[in-house]
Amino acid sequence: MKTVNIKEVAQQAGVSIATVSNVLNRPEVVARPTRERVQSAIDSLGYVPSHLARQLGGSQQGTAVGLVLYDVRNPFLTDVARGAEDLLHSVGQSVVLCNTDVDPDREARYLDQMAQQKAQGVLITPADLSAEWLARQRARGLHLVLFHNSTDHPDVCSVAVDDTAGADMAVTHLLARGHDRIAFVTGPPGMRQSVDRGAGCHRAFERTGRSPDDLRVIATGAYTLDQGRRAGEQLLAATDRATAVFCANDLLALGVMQVALRAGLRVPDDLAIVGYDDIVAATTASVPLTTVHVDGYALGRTAGELIVDEMRNPEHSHRREVFAPRLVERFSA
């Protein structure tokens, strides 16, 4: 089989060899249209950079599986990563961990690198899932498993949590304790977790005869402790302050709790707080956090099992695995 060199890629893409080199090594310095044109030439020619070809020992397929998550600092996603890595390591696959910060351009660069390195598969929380996005990844020969609760794409494996049910549990818990001024602190509005957990809040309100419009929503820019603190400041500044808050993950909840306690409020007497994920820090907080438990390790391990089956089993059939959450009652609500 003819070996393709970097000069041929440059000629097909209509750019210099230096530009191709930058796409491979410093993609952030190349304009997106140019980067996509070069990547298209790389894919169509089957070009493998010389250092990667040596690492692959001349084979056409590597042993790596990409693990592409939106924020590896999140303790829940750390559990997911460990579950996936443990399973993949046990069957002889290596793992490449990537952090996207929900940035489609950054995600695209990582996926470009996965394709260039002939990765066998990718486990990913996609920044912007669509049929077109799936088709692009498949055209590169990538096997995929999504961390995404979508029913719109039955032709791809996915693992997810029933976040609508989990949020419903949390808000129902607060309503049952007599709270009628409830706030919902969530992450970026476009993320599937935010959408589904918001839907669960509305479902709990509607079932008890309340209007979903009565739910006070504070959307943050990320699922982080710092964003939780900022949300807490907004909550406390309101003239008709909420008496309870459901946060779409534990980091947001712990941030809200810090602000409330520093302001002299008693949790849960003055402000009840419920989180989501049940990370280790939820048990060690100043007031142990009532939260919705999700088994991140099992989620990651199941994703690993699905990608291995897809890569190795000619009779593989796509599956959607949905994990059931459960409420863990501690002392914050």
Phi, psi of 298 (to 5 degrees): -65, -35
CB neighbour class for 278 (10 Å; exposed up to 12, middle 13-18, buried from 19)? buried
What structural domains does the chain harbor?
1-47 (1.10.260.40), 163-293 (3.40.50.2300)
Question: Using CA atoms, how far apart are residues 252 and 185, in angstroms rounded to an integer?
Answer: 7
Q: Is the pLDDT of residue 57 over 70?
A: no
Task: Please give the structure tokens belonging to residue 143.
Answer: 């096997």
Higher pLDDT among residues 235 and 62, named by residue: 235
In this predicted model, what pLDDT tens digit does every residue of 207-227 receive, in sequence order? Answer: 999 999 999 999 999 999 999
Q: What is the pLDDT of residue 59?
A: 46
Give the global pTM.
0.82
Contact 322, 162 (CB under 8 A): yes
Question: Using CA atoms, how far apart are residues 200 and 37, in angstroms rounded to an integer?
Answer: 43
Q: Is the pLDDT of residue 54 over 70?
A: no
In this predicted model, what pLDDT tens digit does every residue of 124-146 receive, in sequence order? Answer: 999 889 999 999 888 888 999 99
What is the rounded average pLDDT of the residues 56-68?
Answer: 68
In the block, residue with structure tokens 């909420």:
242
CB neighbour class for 146 (10 Å; exposed up to 12, middle 13-18, buried from 19)? buried
Q: Is the pLDDT of residue 200 over 60?
A: yes
- pLDDT, averaged across the chain: 91
Contact 81, 67 (CB under 8 A): yes
In this predicted model, what pLDDT tens digit does every residue of 156-199 receive, in sequence order? Answer: 999 999 999 999 999 999 999 999 999 999 999 989 999 999 99
Residue 24's pLDDT band (cuts 50, 70, 90): confident
Q: Is the pLDDT of residue 260 over 80?
A: yes
